[in-house]
Amino acid sequence: MGFRKKNKSPPVLSHEFVIQNHADMVSCLAMIILLGLMFEVTAKFAIMFITVQYNVTQVLDEKHDPVNLYQYGPKDVATVFFYLLIAVILHALIQEYILDKMNRRLHLSKTKHSKFNESGQLAAFYLFSFIWGCSILTAEDFATNPTFLWEGYPHTHMVFQVKFFYICQIAYWLHALPELYFQKVRKEDIPRQLYYICLYVVHITGAYVLNLHRLGLVLLVPHYLVELLFHASRLFYFSDENKQKGFTLWALLFVIARLLTLTLSVLTFGFGLPRTENQGFSLAEGNFNVLTIRMTCLAAICLTQAWMMWKFINFQLKKWREHSQNQASKKKTVSPKSKPHKREPTRGGAANGVVKSEDKTSPRARKAKAS
């Protein structure tokens, strides 16, 4: 990992060398791109990586100033690549200066250590994205007019904040793929992380390319809130296993978020887009409002939500079984102490500490013998 003090230097260009110094290498590459702005020959290429491309000036009326809007295009690949490098650097900074210091204090096992790092990185990203997404949505009128999700489709023009939000989202989830190697993620954890990383890349890129950025933004904000609560609860759980109240709230909001996602998706693809004026398929105009694409998008969202609910149900059942086993083990350990056992009579005729005489003569006869 970059920015660390290393006692032993591994061989140059070996796997361990790349893993330990990948953040420094990426920083040098990003610095080279930034230095390209200083020279006229390379500036036109460097600016393609750094700034958002395809701006269009639109004049609403004579009373207002012109508005700068943006479209998407092939040059966005270069912009995504640059901010992917920035994401790798920020990932290393959070790991080095926050998560590693917390791990040293908690003394976690290898399994918990890996999950703690994963939740720490994702919690920081979800928090930042949720706040950013909410700030964008406050400028829209979705709360009072949900029809803005499909009215005026195709939504080929975006304000700067919306386009930059999608560029950063795609860059972050693409950077998560090489981080599986840089962070030495365990083999058994790689398939699980690959699933959700690929789902994020496909869904966010699909909403961006198909000019469904309004719907994508509205669905991402509540989803990120739920995921933020889950990973924050897991961080508290690793610090103290008695802190599990956050998972209960997460379970409730998780189901609500899934229902909200399905409802808005059905409204948009099933009722809104089929009734808009612009029907048809045109790459030049950015119009993808045909039945095949609508049903494909709706099916992809529904299948993803069903898969997430299936994982959620299995997770809850596993927790319930573990809780039941813990309760049963506690009852077994408590039951011998709570029920006192009766003492068995001894061989010498003692019962309950009292020795019974085997002489069956009456008390009067025993007195007579004694006298």
Q: How far apart are CA 225 and CA 236, in angstroms?
A: 17
What is the per-residue pLDDT for 150?
93
Residue 260 is predicted with a pLDDT of 96
pLDDT digits (tens, 9 = 90+) for 43-96: 999 999 999 999 988 776 666 677 889 999 999 999 999 999 999 999 999 999
Tokens of 136: 């964008």
Q: What is the pLDDT of residues 210-269, one digit of tens each?
A: 999 999 999 999 999 999 999 999 999 888 777 778 889 999 999 999 999 999 999 999
Cα dist from 291 to 28, 109, 151, 269, 283, whole Å: 48, 51, 17, 9, 16
pLDDT at 6 over 60: no
The tens digit of pLDDT for each residue in 15-36 reads 888 888 899 999 999 999 999 9
Is the sign of the CA dihedral 151, 152, 154, 158 positive or negative?
negative
Convert the pLDDT of each residue in 309-367 to its tens digit.
Answer: 999 999 889 888 877 887 777 777 765 555 455 454 444 444 444 444 445 555 555 55
Quick check: 298 and 270 in contact, CB under 8 A? yes
Side-chain-facing half-sphere of 193: CA atoms under 13 Å = 23
Instruction: Please report whether residue 40 resides in a domain.
Output: no
- What is the predicted pLDDT for the residue at 352? 46
The residue that leads in pLDDT, 60 or 37, is 37
> Span 180-191, mean pLDDT?
90
Residue 194 pLDDT more than 70?
Answer: yes
pLDDT at 76: 96
User: Peptide bond preceding 340: is omega within 30 degrees of 0, i.e. cis?
Assistant: no
Q: What is the pLDDT of residues 304-322, one digit of tens each?
A: 999 999 999 998 898 888 7
Identify which has the larger pLDDT, 143 or 153.
Answer: 153
Return the structure tokens found at 45. Answer: 């290429």
Max avg pLDDT among 9-18, 104-113, 271-280: 271-280
DSSP states of 298-341 as a string?
HHHHHHHHHHHHHHHHHHHHHHHHHHHHHHHHHHHHHHHHHSPP
**Any idea which residue has 């706040």 for tokens?**
131
- Domain assignment present for residue 299? The answer is yes
Q: Which domain holds residue 304?
A: 51-77+114-325
Please indicate, yes or no, if residue 345 is contained in any of the structural domains: no
pLDDT at 1: 46
Query: What pTM value is reported for the model?
Result: 0.84
57 occurs within a structural domain: yes
| DSSP at 267 | I
Pairwise CA distance, residues 298 & 215, whole Å: 12
Say what the pLDDT of residue 349 is.
46
Q: What is the mean pLDDT of residues 131-135?
A: 95
Per DSSP, the three-state class of 188 is coil
Residue 6 forms part of a structural domain: no
Tokens of 104: 């040293």
From 164-178, 192-206, 238-252, 262-276, the region with the lowest mean pLDDT: 238-252
Residue 103 lies in a domain: no
Residue 344, in any domain of the structure: no
Residue type, 162: V
Give yes or no for a contact between 128 and 34, defined as CB atoms under 8 angstroms apart: no
Report how many domains make up the chain. Answer: 1
Residue 369 pLDDT greater than 80, yes or no: no
Alpha helices per DSSP H over the chain: 15-35, 40-50, 76-94, 100-106, 110-137, 160-182, 190-209, 213-239, 245-266, 291-338, 363-370
pLDDT of the residue at 10: 78
Supply φ then ψ for residue 290, to 5 degrees. -125, 160
Does any domain span residue 18? Answer: no
Amino acid at 43: A
Residue-wise over 162-195: b if at least 16 C-beta within 10 A, else e?
A: bbbbbbbbbbbbbbbeebeebbebeeeeeeebee
Residue 60 has a pLDDT of 65
